[in-house]
């Protein structure tokens, strides 16, 4: 089983992912873990822009909008990531996992969202930022993820059609959100 978690900034995806990883006793991959794996395998240079959660560059992104998306860049990057993960059970935060692993029958793709004010408050507390700085951070991060996802997949980030589950995790909290995902998994994979 592979659980892919996409999220709006400030939704607590790391907490939810850690709870799920502990429950299922499977690896939990964040950008940092995957970068370290890529470094060890000698493929980090080929994937560095992918890990930075931004398109290759703004000009390339603008051009890609006119021709859909750069399939060759995405295909190579995706195949490297798929080979790094292999057929292992794991949880992946971000990295277009819902798209990259869509052919795995045991994929559970999740999109976490929440009220923007709650997400801003969460980021302000987590990063010890002023409300103004946290607002700017959340806005920039969400916009970056929108462009990033579009660049690499051609899809609209957060579109419910592209995920198994989309829900407001801010209202549920991390523990209940993880339980909700576990219940879904119990229904569809058991």
For residue 39, the domain's CATH number is: 3.40.50.300
CA distance 172 to 180: 9
85, 51 contact by CB (below 8 A): no
Query: CB within 8 A of 57, min separation 6: which ones?
Result: none
pTM for the full model?
A: 0.88
Phi then psi for residue 168, to 5 deg, are -85, 95
Q: Which two tokens stand for residue 81?
A: 């990531």
Which pLDDT score, from 0 to 100, does residue 71 have? 52
Which pLDDT score, from 0 to 100, does residue 49 have? 76
Which pLDDT score, from 0 to 100, does residue 73 have? 58
Strand pairing of 2-7 and 28-29?
Answer: unpaired
151, 56 contact by CB (below 8 A): yes
Which pLDDT score, from 0 to 100, does residue 64 have? 47
Which pLDDT score, from 0 to 100, does residue 190 have? 75
Q: What is the DSSP letter of 88?
A: -
**Count of alpha carbons within 13 Å of 76, Cβ hemisphere only?**
11
Task: List per-block mean pLDDT (blocks of 10 residues) for the chain, which spans 190 residues.
Answer: 97 97 97 91 83 55 47 74 91 95 95 98 97 97 91 91 97 97 93
CA distance 188 to 120: 33
92, 4 contact by CB (below 8 A): yes
Q: Domain range for residue 93?
A: 2-189
Q: How many structural domains are present in the chain?
A: 1
Nearest residue to 93 (alpha-carbon basis) of 187, 178, 181, 5: 5
């Amino acid at each position: 089983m592979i659980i892919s978690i996409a999220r709006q900034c400030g939704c607590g995806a790391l907490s939810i992912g850690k709870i799920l990883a502990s429950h299922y006793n499977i690896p939990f991959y964040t950008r940092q873990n995957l970068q370290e794996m890529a470094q060890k395998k000698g493929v980090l240079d080929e994937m560095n822009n992918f890990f930075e959660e931004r398109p290759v560059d703004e000009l390339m992104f603008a051009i890609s909008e006119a021709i859909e998306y750069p399939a060759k860049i995405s295909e190579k990057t995706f195949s490297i990531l798929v080979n790094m993960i292999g057929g292992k059970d794991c949880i992946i935060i971000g990295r277009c996992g819902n798209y990259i692993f869509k052919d795995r029958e045991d994929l559970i793709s999740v999109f976490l969202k929440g009220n923007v004010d709650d997400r801003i408050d969460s980021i302000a507390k987590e990063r010890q930022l002023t409300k103004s700085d946290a607002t700017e951070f959340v806005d920039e991060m969400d916009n970056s993820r929108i462009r990033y996802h579009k660049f690499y997949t051609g899809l609209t980030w957060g579109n419910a059609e592209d995920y198994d589950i989309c829900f407001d995790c801010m209202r549920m909290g991390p523990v209940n959100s993880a339980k909700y995902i576990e219940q879904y998994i119990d229904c569809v994979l058991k």
